[in-house]
Amino acid sequence: MSDTSASAPRLLDRAEEAAYELRAQEGSIWTGSRLLIGIVAFVFASLAFAYFYLRSSNNSGLWRPHGVTAPTMIGAPIFAIVVASALLNLYGTLRMRKGLSVDWEVSGWTAVGGLLLATGLQIWELTRLPFFPGSSGYSSTFIGWAALNSALLLTSAYWLETLLARAIRMRKAVAEDGGPARSTAPPARLFRASLEGCSQYVLFAAVINLLFWVLFYVVV
Amino acid sequence: MAISTHESVGVGRPGGTPPPGAAVRRRSAWLGQHMGTAALAAVIGYTIGHYVGNSFANGYENVAASGQNDVSNVLALTLAVVGWLLGSGALNYPIAKLVGREPAPETEETGVGRFFRYSLDHKVVAMQYVIAVLLFLFTGGLLAMAVRTELLSPTTHYFGPGTYIALVSEHGTMMMMMATSVITGPIAGWLLPLMIGSRRMAFPRVEAFSLWTFIAGYMVILTALPYGGFPTGWTGYAPLQTQASGGMDSYLVGFIVVGSGMIAAGFNIAVTIINYRAPGMTWSRLPIFVWSLLAVASLLALATPTLATGCLFGILDRTAQTAFFVDEHGGSSFLWENLFWFFGHPEVYIMALPGFGIVGEILPVFTRKPLFGYRVGAAGMLGVALLSFFVWQHHLFQSGINPDMRPLFMLTTELISIPTGFIYLTAMGTLWKSKIRFEVPMLFALALYFNFLLGGISGVYLSDVPVNVTVHGSFFVMAHFHYTIMGGLIFAFFGGLYFWLPKMTGKVMNKKLSLIHFWMMFIFFNATFFPLFIVGLLGQPRRVFEYAQRLQGLNDFSTISAYLLASSFIVFTINFAWSIFIDPKPAPANPWDSLGLEWQVPTPVPYNNFDRIPLILADPYHYGEPVHTPVADLGVPAVALAGAGGGGGGPSGGLGAGAPAVDGEGGASDV
């Protein structure tokens, strides 16, 4: 947020300018990550709208003929892996706040692996469907879900991976200043801001997976 | 999708550039990636996509039966866009991030070549946007000429009905795509950081990404014509969408591509306004144009994902054989209509609000009065943005909405005229008893209010169910939205260009040619579209190339006016080319005596905009006050100090009004 509350207005000196712009960048990452969640929320809200619209319309009696369901044996592990990855990353982030960056790195890499595995399973599930994509409203929305969820999981994994890779690269540079978890150097501060945003995004992905898992696998 | 961070050096500047005053390394803009490599990579991507699509989908039953391989089309277009972004350099950093690389320090580029490259300088990106937007506008305009030519006679035809509807659809889609970015890209991109006292946009790469996807979208939608066009108009209604030929793939992919750019632009604008305001730039000091951008950014970021998702469903229907929009298989064509208009109506305000923001900046300058009801105007803009999410069903009054729901959406639609009235109130209050300077930007601003009044009032009628039932699908609707979009947005765009081009380019446009452009555009715009209200009321339907013989006179009048309207753009193009490139004349530092912060920096504006982060001391609307608080402390000699006195009044702590200063000769530290 901009600092607009200076009691005695005066120009910032050069050092204050650098600090001011750094705060603006941190704020941008904070705001940007939340806004990104809002944008993606509208994508999935559109899918949810399609789900309920077609379900309530039940055109030609073909919302969900014969109660067909996508393979639960694949869908449940996807959901479980995503939620576990998000919680693991959240745990790592909390450890990072306490200065334990290695803990976060371990949990982070595991979460990236989990998210990639979930993406792979989501795509593989498309080859094991017991229905034709255009056979019903349910089948259509499920294909839409699979496409959007794969993108959501891939972007989550990408963001987390880039942060892990950056943490490795900056480790030496900020080693004497407390490492990525404690350093006051601008790259470390921006890194932590991005990590906070990323953790929120991955958690959001888990919430989305929970909601649509209920819609596609639990609700009959 | 990762949020980008930068290294410590030059924090706060695009790509981590050196701080002001430091030596800047310059390099040739023709080395490395540029528009040529982007185009080459796009062609390669397109070819690969087509080959792969044909390889595995040619055997599909539906492809073999129809001879139309939508999988191949979509893959080709998608890989072309990916190739375009790869070739331009837009994906260099996202790829380098995978191995933890920091962004390379951005180097300032000079020369013409920088306008053909992937740049992180918001001013360069904005100028690239200007050309891209004009390209879009003129291509769409040429298609409009073809449409009007066909309508010269109800019986003699230049095109077949299929070609005619393809031209109409292409024209509408191109213009709508262009209109979403016509102000947020070029004008907002250039001015926003300067207006809020920032050295940069929050995410320069996101801004550049929005431009390059915008250009990619232009090329994708152009491919619809060789694919046979699409018959749906810009609304892409199902089930026609599902049945259409290959051009529909270009429509769906094109809207996703342009939509991605729109989301990126809205995202970046909102984050920049929230986080990069200079000290002292409180919400109540924000220029009214920035308020309009904040409202638009929220619409771009939140409404556009719905369109993109709808287009994805359309693509899945055409390629993966899903049935989102196929009623016979459990889908619903109304699903598309709902998703489309949930975006489509906010889209109207995405186009209208920045126009109102621009004229809100122009009016005080040329009336020498403070902006009347500033807070009411800002509240009006936010009110319009909020309400625009709750009106979309009025587009479905005639196509299947539950009749009991009609009054609700009639009410919400009519409600939106209240905050719109707020915006008009600020304008009328500012104009009241003022001594207007009828400069070219002011003429465009006044024309906007005239045109939009007709468009807006006809919109209120259209929101009433009985009128809607009567004139739905007729030229009356077509005239209505041309009055709001072209009469509002495009007039604002040109008003803004004439107002800010002296700052953006350092050159002044020829006034005589500018006046000819304005009067031709204003007169022939009204002569083209007002008769269409009448032919609509008399029953001429949209998107049909034949009409009743008795309407030929009005149609011919409209068509000839349209030719003259088009020639006004030729006048503009000649003026632009002549004044900016062929015979440039240096512009005064502050030719309109504006108090806006953007006018207080040198021309050309330095790479980092401000040597020192300015301290904002007042809003920029203190016109007509004999003594007023300076707008900002820039910490360096100001280039000019606009007089705030009424009618070009007296000095205000520095150089007086009407005495534009030469760059760097202001002498006052407070502006």
- Please say whether the beta carbons of B614 and B597 come within 8 A: yes
Separation of CA B172 from chain center: 15
Residue numbers in chain A where pLDDT is lower than 70: 1-8, 220
Q: Is the pLDDT of residue B10 over 80?
A: no
Give the C-alpha separation, B368 to B374, whole Å.
Answer: 15
Q: Residue B438 in 3-state DSSP?
A: coil
Q: Which residues pair with B633 in a beta bridge?
A: B615, B670
**Interchain contact, A59 vs B330, CB within 8 Å:** yes
**Interchain contact, B281 vs A4, CB within 8 Å:** yes
B312 CB burial (10 A radius; 0-12, 13-18, 19+)? buried
- Please say whether the beta carbons of B650 and B632 come within 8 A: no
Residue of A nearest to B335 (CA): A50
What percent of chain B is modeled with pLDDT above 70?
90
Give the C-alpha separation, B128 to B214, whole Å.
Answer: 11
The reported pLDDT for the residue numbered B637 is: 58
The reported pLDDT for the residue numbered B629 is: 77
Mean pLDDT score, B24-53:
84
Give the C-alpha separation, A88 to A107, whole Å.
Answer: 6
B630 vs B176, residue with greater confidence = B176
- Please say whether the beta carbons of B239 and B276 come within 8 A: no
CB proximity A154 to B under 8 Å? no
Strands (E), B494-636: 615-616, 632-633
**Interchain contact, A47 vs B309, CB within 8 Å:** yes
Name which of A168-182, B366-380, B509-523 the model is least confident about: A168-182
Would you list the DSSP string of B653-671? SSSPTT-PPPTT----SB-
- B338 CB neighbours in chain A (<8 A) are 49, 53
Token pair, residue B257, equals 């591509």
CA distance A74 to chain B (A): 21
Q: Give, in order, the Cα–Cα distances in Å from B666 to each of B117, B426, B602, B650.
A: 35, 32, 10, 16
Label residue B641 by pLDDT band (50, 70, 90).
Answer: very low
The reported pLDDT for the residue numbered A173 is: 87
Interface of A with B in 23-42 (CB under 8 A): 24-25, 27-29, 31-33, 35-36, 38-40, 42
| Of B290, B333, B295, B293, the residue nearest B314 (C-alpha) | B333
Facing residue for B335 by CB, picked from A28, A54, A163: A54
Facing residue for B279 by CB, picked from A3, A155, A193: A3
pLDDT tens profile B475-509: 999 999 999 999 999 999 999 999 999 999 999 99
CB proximity A179 to B under 8 Å? no
CATH code for the part of the protein at B119-582: 1.20.210.10
The reported pLDDT for the residue numbered B67 is: 86
The reported pLDDT for the residue numbered B588 is: 93
Facing residue for A187 by CB, picked from B7, B302, B615: B7
- A49 CB neighbours in chain B (<8 A) are 338-339
pLDDT tens profile B266-321: 999 999 999 999 999 999 999 999 999 999 999 999 999 999 999 999 999 999 99
Structural domains present in chain A: 14-218 (1.20.120.80)
Find the helix or strand (DSSP H, E) in which B566 lies: helix B552-576
CA distance B430 to chain A (A): 28
**Interchain contact, A46 vs B306, CB within 8 Å:** yes
- Please say whether the beta carbons of B440 and B591 come within 8 A: no
**Interchain contact, A43 vs B308, CB within 8 Å:** yes
CB proximity A163 to B under 8 Å? yes
- Please say whether the beta carbons of B251 and B221 come within 8 A: yes
pLDDT tens profile B222-270: 999 999 999 999 999 999 999 999 999 999 999 999 999 999 999 999 9
CB proximity A119 to B under 8 Å? no
Mean pLDDT score, B578-600:
94
The reported pLDDT for the residue numbered B595 is: 94
Q: Is the pLDDT of residue B151 over 50?
A: yes
B461 CB burial (10 A radius; 0-12, 13-18, 19+)? middle
Facing residue for A136 by CB, picked from B280, B302, B330: B330
The reported pLDDT for the residue numbered B458 is: 95
H and E: helices and strands count for chain B: 21, 2
Give the C-alpha separation, B34 to B30, whole Å.
Answer: 7
Give the C-alpha separation, B147 to B157, whole Å.
Answer: 11
Inter-axis angle of helices B70-88 and B204-222, nearest 10: 140
CA distance A209 to chain B (A): 17
Q: Which long-range contacts (CB under 8 A, 24 or more apart) does A37-42 make?
A: A37/A200, A37/A201, A37/A204, A38/B301, A38/B302, A39/B263, A39/B267, A39/B301, A39/B302, A39/B305, A40/A152, A40/A201, A40/A204, A40/A208, A40/B305, A41/A204, A42/B302, A42/B303, A42/B305, A42/B306
CB proximity B279 to A under 8 Å? yes
Would you list the DSSP string of B251-311? HHHHHHHHHHHHHHHHHHHHHHHHH-PPTT--GGGS-HHHHHHHHHHHHHHHHHHHHHHHH
pLDDT tens profile B562-573: 999 999 999 999
Give the C-alpha separation, B317 to A195, whole Å.
Answer: 37
Give the C-alpha separation, B263 to B267, whole Å.
Answer: 6
Global pTM reads: 0.91
> What's chain B's average pLDDT?
89
CA distance B291 to chain A (A): 16
- B302 CB neighbours in chain A (<8 A) are 38-39, 42
- A137 CB neighbours in chain B (<8 A) are 323, 329-332
Inter-axis angle of helices B440-463 and B417-431, nearest 10: 150
Q: Residue B517 in 3-state DSSP?
A: helix
Q: Is the pLDDT of residue B638 over 60?
A: no
The reported pLDDT for the residue numbered B666 is: 31
Interface of B with A in 588-617 (CB under 8 A): 612-615, 617
Token pair, residue B392, equals 């979309």
The Cβ of residue B34 has, within 10 Å, a number of other Cβ atoms equal to: 19
**Interchain contact, A59 vs B102, CB within 8 Å:** no
Chain A / chain B CB contacts < 8 angstroms: 244
Domain extents in chain B: 35-99, 119-582, 606-671
Label residue B643 by pLDDT band (50, 70, 90).
Answer: very low
Q: Is the pLDDT of residue B109 over 80?
A: no
Inter-axis angle of helices B204-222 and B161-181, nearest 10: 170
Q: Is the pLDDT of residue B7 over 60?
A: no
CB proximity B31 to A under 8 Å? no
**Interchain contact, A9 vs B267, CB within 8 Å:** no
Give the C-alpha separation, B145 to B11, whole Å.
Answer: 50
The Cβ of residue B341 has, within 10 Å, a number of other Cβ atoms equal to: 21
Name which of A97-106, B167-176, B621-630 the model is least confident about: B621-630
- A21 CB neighbours in chain B (<8 A) are 11-13, 199, 613
CA distance A191 to chain B (A): 7
Would you list the DSSP string of B47-66? HHHHHHHHHHHTTSHHHHHH
Label residue B337 by pLDDT band (50, 70, 90).
Answer: very high
CB proximity A67 to B under 8 Å? no
**ipTM of this model?**
0.94
